[in-house]
Chains A and B, each alone.
Chain A
Amino acid sequence: MDFPIISSLIILPTIGALFIIFTKSSNNKYQSSKYVALFISLANFILSIYLWLIFDKSSVNFQFVENREWLSGFINYKVGVDGISILFILLTTFITPICIISVISTIKHRLKDFLIAILIMETLMIGVFCSLDLIIFYLFFEGGLIPMFLIIGIWGGERRVYSAFKFFLYTLLGSVLMLIAIISIYWISGTTDVEKLYEIGIGEQYQKLLWLAFFSSFAVKTPMWPVHTWLPDAHVEAPTAGSVLLAAILLKMAGYGFIRFSVGLFPIASEYFVPLVFALSLIAIIYTSLVALMQEDMKKLIAYSSVAHMGFVTLGIFTMTQQGIEGSIFQMISHGLVSAALFLSVGVVYDRNHTRLIKKYGGLVTVMPKYGIVFMIFALGSLGLPGTSGFIGEFLILMGTFKKSFLVATIASLGVILGAAYILWMYKRVVFGEIIHEEIKSMKDLKKFELLILILLAIPIIFFGFYPEPLINSIETSVTSLIDNYNTNLTQSIAKK
């Protein structure tokens, strides 16, 4: 057996966390912990880049698969990547060091614990994206609740307790139904190995109920309307790095789950429930965009915009077209970068002025010109201006949707306009205009490290906006095989009838 590269990716952050736990720092600055966390997360990023380079993009199969006996005989520890999951792993390992840089420089209170939580979180998130066994997936998926609960609860804002509880209980409630479904799959098919399940399929009569059980978990996590209400609360109260993790990666677990499990395992049920998903997605796009328009809190506005963007993602996935699914994956990656950047940008002004209310700002461009520029890039990325990665995703999704239904696509396009409206209006009120508040005048422009992380995020947003080929190239074969599998299943089922 070769070097277990996937397991190393998963375990490395945890080793870093253990290292931090057992290093005693004599002073309160936690110098060693900072360097260890940064070093480990960067090492993991480099490892994942290496994985991406040696990954064979033309192959349909899962690669670097590791299969070990785990729970005597009936469940194996099985991990591996295909073209879809590798992008999410890259996103995770890219966002984590950025989070760590931001945490190191802004958080003073219990920094060591925060670093441990982020590293454990990274382990769990990578685990989610590469597990090829449903039980293993569930372990990683649910395990993420613990560190996130602590991040919101310990370092959050005023109503942090309420938000942390809401986040935890909402997600747990959705997920226990998924657990029942996973165990049922084991008894129906005799295995929880995803690869085997793809081959043998799941009996048609069970699919709808199982699909609904998985849906209940993923819909809460996505989050889809009407179970999205935990997200704005969690975002507003979470510290900046917590919001970044939540928006950039945690929400993507559900989108990934939809593609890998809902569509992959239950094609017949997915086809049956397409209208439901379309309806919920459209409501999410239009309704939450309108809600976002009325927000006074910047973080809340971005949180609602996330719901709307994730609405596009679910819409794209369930078009079951090459463009739609590719667009959704692209949109998730792009939204991961853009929303992370937007939350970091809000964090920058929050650290200086200690408020997130839009009306407390105005005229920032005169005191913080650099900030005005980078914030502009991310705002444009969010609304999907051509030349940013946001455009490619939305464009592909709408293209896929047009194939499926003209009406749905038209309504969804309205969402794009609304998206431009709320983000630009916020940008205008915060950055332009005259300085009304005295505090603004004394605000300093971006520090070096802030500029560094924001530019690091801006580069891929623009790069993939102009040249999406590397990403599309990596997912293309996997998506094609997914859709082929889906269509054969459907035709077989129709033929039977």
Chain B
Amino acid sequence: MENLEIILPEIFLSLTIMFLLLFGVFKKNSSKLIYNLTTISLIILFALLLNLYQVSDLSIFNNSYKIDSLATFMKLLTIGSGIFVMLTSSRYIEINNINKMEYPILILSSILGMMVMISSNDLIVFYMGLELQSLALYVLASFNRENLLSTESGLKYFVLSALSSGLLLYGCSLIYGFSGSTNFNTILENSSSGQYGITFGIVFILVGLAFKISAVPFHMWAPDVYQGSPTSVTTFFAVLPKIAALSVFIRFLYVPFAEMDDQWQMIIIFLSIASMIFGAVAAIGQKNLKRLIAYSSIGHMGYSLTGLAAGTNQGIQGSISYIAIYLVMNLAFFSCMFMLRRNNEYYESIEDLSGLSKNHPLLSFSLLIILFSLAGIPPLAGFFAKFYVFMAVIEQKMYFLAIVGLLSTVIAAFYYLRIIKIIYFDKEKEKFETDHHLGLKFTLAVSTIFILAYFIYPSGLTEIVSKINII
């Protein structure tokens, strides 16, 4: 039983969820209180995890649950961005009347699912975490149930995601059938690359995972769901599930199937090239900011997969750095979107940004920094994200992948520039309101400064990430 203390964060989170649920049921009109309690419990969770940071490489529950530097770092990222998502969206959910007590509880259960996913070292544990996460997300997507788009997006996400979960389960059963175990380490011992059943299993599971991070060609749900869901949920969608899915990607590819990289490497390369190009090209014609960011996130996922394709520790570290920097940029971008408010209505079309720089110089400056960083222009943080990934790719002499990737950044730069053009070069419109929630301002300030000043001390992130050695 002495092992229980290392899963203290998970236990704490489960208890919090139950307590808050009961609390919400028995006390009327407590949604605001529960929301704040949720934020506080996330902060406590973050502290608990930090405390665990020294623990390295422990397996518990019959080797099906792993606590190592990868798991702890990814959980910290997840919970850290969870805190910021909560901070940014409090005003939004009030104004849009979705501040029900279930909202924060669903977010917490989704985070619990992600934590299980990140630590899983077993197909069944992994699937449990995935479903816990997804079920909460289906409800969150359609949380604004009076809004047609929101219900549509929830349903769409549910149907397509259930399909992908089915494929994923099928893949799990194939692998179980051919290797005789669901445990990642046992699979490694029992499998050899000659078994076609296992290869099929890998393909099915990769399809399921690619769906979760919306990599091309399993991306169709992303734009609709991003646009339809309430913006607060979109923020959540754009960041957290991707961290969890990426760590599963890493663990799934590099623990049981590390030696079969000839089988899956081509798949990852295809997914990343297709996502990079499609994300860049399809975003050009978009008019809605949320749709645009959906396509942009498809592209960004392509870049982070690029690192995995390299098949080295450096590549994995590149991917992790990429996702870490990406989440900061996305949080910053969505914070800006929450600031586009006029008479209790939020604006989300690109045209609404027209001439923003004249009335709101600071907000526009942040957007400028964020967009150039998303485009990967040095010396902003987004450049370093790409730099780490391509360092790893070029080390493996995968020049084709590197050239395609960097050329698609040029295409992608075009649509980011278009937004900047609208903000800075076009005629101004009416002013937006400026009284924002303190948490929102704080998030925007912190993330913008991070992006802008990252180049002064880039070793910080690399040093942390370099401790993660999977292979």
Residue B402 interfacial (CB < 8 Å): yes
Question: In whole angstroms, how far apart are the Cα atoms of A279 and B130 in the complex?
Answer: 61
Which of B379, B391, B410 sits near A172, CB closer than 8 Å? B410
The reply to whether B394 and A165 contact each other, CB–CB distance below 8 Å, is: no
A residues near B421, Cβ cutoff 8 Å: 153, 161, 164-165
B142 at the interface (CB under 8 A from A): no
A139 to chain B: closest CB distance in Å? Answer: 4
Instruction: Specify which chain B residues have a CB less than 8 angstroms from the CB of A67 in the assembled complex.
Output: none
Which chain B residues in 450-471 approach chain A with CB under 8 Å? 455, 458-459, 462-463, 466
Q: How far is the CA of A455 from the CA of B144 in the complex (A)?
A: 68
Q: In the complex, what residues of B have CB within 8 A of residue A173's CB?
A: 407, 410
Expressed in whole angstroms, the minimum distance between the Cβ of B445 and any Cβ of chain A is 14
Q: Are A71 and B414 in contact (CB under 8 A)?
A: no
Cβ of A488 under 8 Å from chain B: no
> Contact partner of B399 among A138, A145, A180, CB < 8 A?
A180
Judge if A176 is at the interface, Cβ distance under 8 Å: yes
Q: State A71–B459 Cα separation when bound (angstroms).
A: 5
Q: Per a CB cutoff under 8 Å, which of B391, B406, B414, B462 touches A176?
A: B406
Contacts of B399 in A (CB 8 A): 180, 184
Instruction: Determine if B199 is an interface residue (Cβ-Cβ < 8 Å).
Output: no
- C-alpha gap A69/B462 in the complex (Å): 13
Complex Cα distance, B462 from A250, in Å, reads 32
Task: Give chain A residues whose Cβ lies under 8 Å from the Cβ of B413.
Answer: 168-169, 172
Interface string of B383-399 (1 = CB under 8 A from A): 10001001100110001
Determine which residue in B387, B399, B407, B463 has the highest number of CB atoms from chain A within 10 A of its CB, and name it: B387
Flag A178-200 by CB within 8 Å of B: 1 or 0 each.
Answer: 01100110110000000000000
Closest to B388 in A: A71
- A72 at interface by CB-CB < 8 Å: yes
Q: Which residues of A are found within 8 Å of B4, using beta-carbon distances?
A: none
A146 within 8 A of partner (CB): yes
**Looking at the complex, which one of B394, B414, B417 makes contact with A183 (CB distance below 8 Å)?**
B394
Q: Is A280 an interface residue (CB 8 A)?
A: no
Question: Is B306 part of the binding interface, using a Cβ–Cβ cutoff of 8 Å?
Answer: no
B227 within 8 A of A: no
Q: Are B407 and A72 in contact (CB under 8 A)?
A: no
Cross-chain contact of A180 among B390, B425, B466 (Cβ < 8 A): B390
Chain B contacts for A139, CB-based, 8 A? 378-379, 383, 455
Q: In this assembly, does A70 line the interface, its C-beta being within 8 Å of a C-beta of chain B? A: yes
Taken residue by residue from 204 to 228, chain B's Cβ proximity to chain A (1 for < 8 Å, 0 otherwise) reads as 0000000000000000000000000
Roughly how many angstroms separate A139 CA and B455 CA in the complex, as a whole number? 9
Chain A residues within 8 Å of B458, by CB? 70-72
Chain A min CB distance to B409 (Å)? 6
Does B403 sit within 8 A of A, measured CB to CB? yes
**Residues of chain A with a CB closer than 8 A to B387's CB:** 135, 179, 183
Does A177 interact with chain B (Cβ within 8 Å)?
yes
Contacts A150-B424, A153-B425 hold; do A180 and B406 have CB atoms under 8 A apart? yes
Interface string of B353-382 (1 = CB under 8 A from A): 000000000000000100010000111000
Contacts known (A169-B414, A180-B394, A180-B406); A153 close to B424, Cβ less than 8 A? yes
CB distance from A248 to the nearest CB of B (A): 23
CB-CB contacts of B413-436 with A at 8 A, as 1s and 0s? 110010011001100000000000
Judging by beta carbons under 8 Å apart, are B462 and A184 in contact? no
Whether A36 sits at the interface, judged by CB under 8 Å, is no
Chain B residues within an 8 Å CB radius of A176: 406-407, 409-410
Measured CB to CB, the nearest residue on chain A to B457 is A70
Tell me, in angstroms, the Cα distance from A135 to B395 when the chains sit together: 16
Most buried by B among A70, A135, A176, A177: A176
Q: How far is the CA of A176 from the CA of B403 in the complex (A)?
A: 8
**Complex contact B425–A72 (CB within 8 A):** no
Q: Given the complex of chains A and B, what is the CA–CA distance between A255 and B407 in angstroms? A: 24
Chain A positions 422 through 450: 1 when the CB is less than 8 Å from some CB of chain B, otherwise 0: 00000000000000000000000000000
- Closest Cβ of chain B: how far from A108's Cβ, in Å? 14
A88 at the interface (CB under 8 A from B): no
Given the known interface contacts A153-B421, A164-B421, A168-B417, the answer about A180 and B410 at a Cβ–Cβ threshold of 8 Å is no
Number of chain A interface residues as a range: 20 to 34
Question: Knowing A139-B379, A160-B425, A183-B394 touch, does A70 contact B459 (C-beta < 8 A)?
Answer: yes
Q: A141 to nearest B CB, angstroms? A: 8
> What CA separation (Å) do A173 and B462 show in the bound complex?
28
- The answer to whether A177 and B459 have CB atoms under 8 Å apart is no
Contact B463 A142 (CB under 8 A): no
Q: A169-B414, A187-B395 are in contact. Are A180 and B377 (CB under 8 A)?
A: no
Q: Please, how many angstroms separate the alpha-carbon atoms of A347 and B420 in the complex?
A: 27
Q: Nearest chain B CB to A77's CB is how many angstroms away?
A: 10
Other-chain contact of B459, A72, A146, A160 (Cβ < 8 Å): A72
Q: Inside 8 A of B424's CB, which chain A residues have their CB? A: 150, 153-154
Contacts of A165 in B (CB 8 A): 414, 417, 421
Please classify the interface of chain A as helix (H, G, I), strand (E, B), loop, or mixed, using the class held by over half of its residues. Answer: helix
Cβ-closest chain B residue relative to A112: B361
Contact in complex: B391, A149 (CB < 8 Å): no
Is the Cβ of B395 less than 8 Å from the Cβ of A71?
no
Verify A145–B406 contact, CB threshold 8 A: no
Tell me the nearest residue of chain A to B365, going by C-beta.
Answer: A21
* Bound complex: CA A438 to CA B391 (Å): 63
Q: Report A365 CB to chain B, min CB distance, Å.
A: 38
CB contacts under 8 Å to A, within B55-88, are none
Residues of B within 8 A of A186 (CB): 391
User: Nearest Cβ in chain A — how far from B417, in angstroms?
Assistant: 6
Tell yes or no: A143 within 8 A of B by CB: yes
- B410 near A154: Cβ-Cβ < 8 Å: no
Please tell me if the beta carbons of A142 and B378 are within 8 angstroms of each other in the complex. Answer: yes
Given A69-B459, A72-B462, A153-B421, residue A177 in contact with residue B378 (CB < 8 A): no
Contacts of B463 in A (CB 8 A): 72
Residues of B with C-beta under 8 A to A153: 420-421, 424-425
Cβ-defined contact, A180 with B372, below 8 A? no
> Given A139-B378, A187-B394, do A146 and B372 touch, yes or no (CB 8 Å)?
yes
Does the CB pair B425–A161 fall under 8 Å?
yes
Please indicate the chain B residues that have their CB under 8 angstroms from the CB of A164 in the complex.
421, 425
Chain B residues contacting A70 (CB-CB under 8 Å) are: 458-459
Find the residue from A138, A143, A154 having the highest chain B CB count within 10 A.
A143
Given A138-B378, A153-B421 in contact, is the A180-B402 Cβ separation under 8 Å? yes
Q: Are A145 and B459 in contact (CB under 8 A)?
A: no
Choice from A143, A149, A177, A179 contacting B417 with Cβ under 8 Å:
A149
- Chain A residues with CB under 8 A of B406: 176-177, 179-180
CA distance A161 to B417 in the complex (A): 10
Residues of B within 8 A of A150 (CB): 368, 424
Give the distance to chain B from A422, nearest Cβ to Cβ, in Å: 33
Which residues of chain A are near B378, meaning CB under 8 Å? 138-139, 142-143
Contact assessment for B394 and A72 in the assembled complex, using a CB-CB cutoff below 8 Å:
no
**Contact partners of A168 in chain B: CB under 8 A:** 413, 417
Q: How far is the CB of A202 from chain B (nearest CB, A)?
A: 15
In angstroms, how far is the closest chain B Cβ from the Cβ of A241?
Answer: 17
Evaluate contact between B410 and A183: CB separation under 8 angstroms: no
Tell me the A336-359 residues at the B interface (CB within 8 Å): none
Decide if B395 touches A180 in the complex (CB within 8 Å): no
A-B pairs, 7 with minimum CB distance = A72-B459, A176-B406, A139-B378, A183-B394, A139-B379, A142-B378, A153-B425
Would you give 25 A-B contacts (Cβ < 8 Å), ordered by A? A69-B459, A71-B458, A138-B378, A142-B377, A145-B377, A153-B421, A153-B424, A160-B425, A161-B421, A168-B417, A169-B414, A169-B417, A172-B409, A173-B410, A176-B406, A176-B409, A177-B403, A179-B387, A180-B394, A180-B399, A180-B406, A183-B390, A183-B402, A184-B394, A184-B399
Please give the residue numbers on chain B whose beta carbons come within 8 Å of chain A beta carbons, in ascending order. Answer: 368, 372, 377-379, 383, 387, 390-391, 394-395, 399, 402-403, 406-407, 409-410, 413-414, 417, 420-421, 424-425, 455, 458-459, 462-463, 466
Extra A-B contacts (13), CB below 8 Å, given A150-B368, A179-B387: A70-B458, A72-B458, A72-B463, A72-B466, A139-B455, A149-B417, A149-B420, A153-B425, A169-B413, A172-B409, A179-B390, A179-B406, A183-B391
